[in-house]
């Protein structure tokens, strides 16, 4: 009888370790992409697709999961969904890498900070969900923050909005088809869809100035090849965490990645952060705090409903 809580606690701990591993890996990606210089953003993403697809193929073979991969291609609805998801992945990856390699890591972090709010809005306009007051307040604060940052920089924060939008819509699509396949198979399908685009991009890079993969030493080539594991391994860790940790905990963990990116942008890469920009980010964080508080309240209410004899004061 006493073994069950221990087993549950062990599962929770391992899930948190996997989750932190995934989000820390995603958080330090800016440093990894900057280490790939002199490769530019277009070449980096192309190799990221190619080597991710190759690693997925190896893993599918070792784990004997090709049947699920083929099943996706035979199902018209799934095939179309994953093609759209793949294109959104490409938009997200390309925007993120170009932003990172051009000195806009903080803007990228902003995109992933406002992504949960964008996801909430998708729930309203696409799934016709009704927002609670604290969620509306969070949306309003995020809108104010975007206005503050737009006035501060004299331009709309397109990088953040593109990242939040592409990842939010991608998440919505994967939420609808996620139960149909596992994370590895999904990534394998998406990178297969993107492989022709990656090849075209590499040809374009070669004509534009030359691919760096074979011209800057073995170490540089190995780093570019590492883009495959740096993409695939965090996804596998995240999938392992999602099976062991409650969804609300995953929701809290997601803020680790943009926080690490923000710290890297400000304190390692020394990107400009004038007072007005700090104000904009502070408003964003206030909105996120409301979302977190709302989630905690809802989890508490569900717990009281499920546990007999509990009630609020």
The whole domain housing 137 covers 3-306
Q: What is the mean pLDDT of the chain?
A: 88
Q: What is the DSSP letter of 193?
A: H
How confident is the model at residue 157, as a pLDDT?
93
| Token pair listed for 135 | 């969620």
Domain count, the chain: 1
**Residue 20 belongs to some domain of the structure:** yes
* pLDDT value for 55: 96
Nearest by Cα to 146 from 299, 234, 311, 277: 277
How much is the pLDDT for 311? Answer: 40
Which pLDDT tens digit goes with each residue over 42-88?
A: 999 999 999 999 999 999 999 999 999 999 999 999 999 999 999 99
Q: What's the confidence (pLDDT) of residue 4? A: 52
Dihedral, CA of residue 128, residue 129, residue 133 and residue 139, to nearest 10: -70
Q: Identify the CA nearest to 69 among candidates 45, 84, 53.
A: 53
Cα gap 294→139, rounded to integer Å: 13
In a domain, 311, yes or no: no
Q: What are the structure tokens assigned to 288, written together?
A: 């996120």
Helix, strand, coil abundance in the chain, percent, nearest 5: 80, 0, 20
Q: Is 312 part of any domain?
A: no
Pick from 204, 233, 183, 168: nearest CA to 32? 233
225, part of any domain: yes
Q: Both tokens of residue 191? A: 């990178």
Q: Cα separation of 234 and 19, whole Å? A: 9
Cα 57 from Cα 34, distance rounded (Å)? 27
**Residue 313, in any domain of the structure:** no
Length in residues, the chain: 313
- pLDDT the model gives residue 245: 78
Q: Whole-angstrom Cα distance, residue 107 to residue 160?
A: 6
How far apart are the C-alpha atoms of 56 and 271, rounded to whole Å?
Answer: 35
User: What pLDDT was estimated at residue 179?
Assistant: 65
Q: Are 25 and 237 in contact (CB under 8 A)?
A: yes
Cis peptide before 57 (omega within 30 of 0): no
Q: Which two tokens stand for residue 104?
A: 């806009």
What span, in angstroms and rounded, lies between the C-alpha atoms of 118 and 123?
Answer: 9
Nearest to 172 by CA among 108, 125, 236: 125
- In a domain, residue 99? The reply is yes
Torsion sign, CA atoms 188, 42, 210, 212: negative
- The pLDDT tens digits of the residues spanning 140-158 come to 999 999 999 998 888 899 9
Ranges of the chain with pLDDT below 50: 1-2, 309-313
pLDDT of 298 reads 76
């Amino acid at each position: 009888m006493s073994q069950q809580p221990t087993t549950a606690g062990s599962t929770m701990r391992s899930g948190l370790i996997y989750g932190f591993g995934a989000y820390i890996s995603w958080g330090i990606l800016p440093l990894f992409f900057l280490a790939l210089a002199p490769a530019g953003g277009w070449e980096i993403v192309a190799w990221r697709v190619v080597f991710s697809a190759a690693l997925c193929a190896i893993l599918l073979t070792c784990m004997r999961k090709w049947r699920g991969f083929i099943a996706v291609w035979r199902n018209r609805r799934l095939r179309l969904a994953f093609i759209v998801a793949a294109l959104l992945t490409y938009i997200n990856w390309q925007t993120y890498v170009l932003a990172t390699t051009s000195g806009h890591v903080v803007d990228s972090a902003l995109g992933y900070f406002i992504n949960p709010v964008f996801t909430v809005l998708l729930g309203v306009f696409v799934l016709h969900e009704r927002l609670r007051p604290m969620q509306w307040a969070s949306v309003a604060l995020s809108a104010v923050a975007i206005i503050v940052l737009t006035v501060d920089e004299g331009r709309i924060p397109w990088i953040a909005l593109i990242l939040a939008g592409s990842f939010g819509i991608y998440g919505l699509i994967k939420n609808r088809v996620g139960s149909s396949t596992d994370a590895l198979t999904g990534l394998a399908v998406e990178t297969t869809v993107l492989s022709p685009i990656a090849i075209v991009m590499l040809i374009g890079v070669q004509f534009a100035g030359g691919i760096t993969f074979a011209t800057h030493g073995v170490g540089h080539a190995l780093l570019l090849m590492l883009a495959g594991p740096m993409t695939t391994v965090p996804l596998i860790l995240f999938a392992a965490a999602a099976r062991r940790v409650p969804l609300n905990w995953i929701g809290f963990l997601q803020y680790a990645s943009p926080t690490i990116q923000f710290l890297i942008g400000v304190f390692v890469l020394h990107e400009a952060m004038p007072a007005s920009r700090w104000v904009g980010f502070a408003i964003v964080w206030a909105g996120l705090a409301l979302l977190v508080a709302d989630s905690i309240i809802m989890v508490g209410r569900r717990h009281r409903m499920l546990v007999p004899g509990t009630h609020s004061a």
